[in-house]
Structure 1
Amino acid sequence: MPNTLRLKYFVEHHVFGVCTKIGEKLGISTSSIRLYFVYVSFITVGSPIIIYLVLAFWMNIRRYLRQYKSPSVWEL
C-alpha cells in the first residue's frame, strides 16, 4: 500500500471524525463536507480549524461522559 493511501486511511478512520459525524447527521457525503471545509479554511485564513477543534473536543467529552456515566438510582 503506498504511503499516500496509508495516510488517507489514517486520517479518515482515526482522526476526530467531526466531518463524518456532521455528514451522518445532515445526510451529506463526508467527502463533500471535507472539501468545503478545506475551501472555507483557505478563504477565511484558517478560522474553521478552531471550530473543528472545538467540535472534536466536544465529541470526545460527550463520548467520555456516556462511557463513564454514574449509575442511576435504579441501577444501585
Structure 2
Amino acid sequence: MKWFTDLRYFFEKHGFAVTSRLADRLGMKAKNVRLFFIYATFATFGIWFLVYLVLAFWLKMKDLIYTKRSSVFDL
C-alpha cells in the first residue's frame, strides 16, 4: 500500500489543483470535490474526467493571462 500512498502524494503535489481551487471557491473540502469527480466519472462513463481536464486547462490559461505584477518594472 506504500506505492498507492506515494502515487496519491505525487498527484496531489503535481496535479492541476482543480479540485482544491474549486473547493475553496465553493467553501467545501477538497476531498469531497475529488470524490464527486470520481463518482461522477464512473456514473457518466468518463464525461466528468473531460470536464476536469477542461477546467485544468482553463485555470492554467487564466493563471498565465492574469498574473499579478507587483510593479511596472516586472513587465
Q: TM-score, normalised on structure 2?
A: 0.81
| Identical-residue share of aligned pairs (%) | 33
Q: Separation in 2 of the partners of 1:30 and 1:68?
A: 25
Give 1:67 deviation, angstroms: 3.5
Q: CA RMSD in A?
A: 1.9
1:29 aligns with 2:5: no
Partner of 2:18 in structure 1? 18
Give 1:3 deviation, angstroms: 1.9
The number of residues matched between the two structures is 70
Give 1:18 deviation, angstroms: 0.6
Which residues of structure 1 form unaligned runs of 5+? 70-74
Give deviations 1:23-60, integer Å, cap 9, x for gaps: 01111011111111111111110101111111100011
Which residues of structure 2 form unaligned runs of 5+? none
Q: TM-score, normalised on structure 1?
A: 0.80
